[in-house]
Structures are given as structure tokens and as C-alpha cells.
């Protein structure tokens, strides 16, 4: 069974996601990305399909649909921070951590 290649329409959004959603999770000013923030990053990545996002995140495309459903929807799930950060790095909105950062070195 193949998934249809419907694009997630993200027109009419601001150019960049909320600056506080770009911060690291440990920053006290960090705020969880909104649906609008997530869609803005997807637009920057080139209007990815659900399957393409799922492939980058290592999840099933059904999970992506839950991330992209309206927050008031009973099926809505919050996107994990690690996936959010990966998408930000791929969109060149934040810097990729250096090798030293991964081991706590400067």
C-alpha cells in the first residue's frame, strides 16, 4: 500500500518560527514549537510530504499526521524536542552541534 503524496499546505505563515522555539531545551526561555512553527520549518525544508518527514524523523507517517493535526484535535501529539531540533538543523535555522558538544567538551 502506498501513501498519497499530498503536500502539507503551509502558505500564509511568517518567514521564521518563533525565536523562543529555536532555543535549546535547557534554555529557560525555550518554548515548545506551535503547529505554525512546525509548518514554517517544513516550508523551509521544501514542502515535505508526511512520508518524507517521517523518514527524516524515523517514525511512521501516521505519527507525523498527529504532530500536524490541530492542537485541539483528539489525535494531536506534540513533536518530540529531538525531532524538532533535527528539523531546525536541516533547515539551517540553528547550528549543528560540534563533536565536542556531544561529549560535554568545549
Could you give the CA distance from residue 102 to residue 94 in angstroms, rounded to a whole number? 16
Q: At what angle do helices 50-57 and 81-90 cross, to 10 degrees?
A: 110
* pLDDT (0 to 100) of residue 97: 82
Q: Shortest CA distance to 83 belongs to which of 43, 47, 38, 48?
A: 38
Q: List the beta bridge partners of residue 49.
A: 7
Q: What is the pLDDT of residues 2-45, one digit of tens each?
A: 555 554 444 555 578 999 999 999 999 999 999 999 999 988 88
Collapsing DSSP to helix, strand or coil, 49 comes out as: strand
For residue 27, the Cα-to-chain-centroid distance in whole angstroms is 18
Which residue has better confidence, 10 or 96? 96
Q: Is 65 helix (H, G, I), strand (E, B) or coil?
A: helix
Amino acid at each position: 500500500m502506498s501513501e498519497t503524496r499530498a503536500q502539507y499546505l503551509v502558505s500564509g505563515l511568517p518567514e521564521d518560527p518563533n525565536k523562543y522555539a529555536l532555543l535549546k531545551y535547557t534554555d529557560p526561555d525555550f518554548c515548545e514549537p506551535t503547529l505554525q512553527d512546525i509548518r514554517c520549518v517544513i516550508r523551509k525544508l521544501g514542502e515535505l510530504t508526511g512520508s518524507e518527514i517521517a523518514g527524516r524523523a524515523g517514525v511512521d507517517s501516521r505519527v507525523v499526521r498527529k504532530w500536524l493535526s490541530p492542537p485541539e484535535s483528539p489525535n494531536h501529539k506534540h513533536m518530540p524536542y529531538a525531532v524538532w531540533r533535527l528539523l531546525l538543523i536541516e533547515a539551517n535555522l540553528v547550528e549543528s552541534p560540534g563533536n565536542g558538544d556531544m561529549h560535554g567538551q568545549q
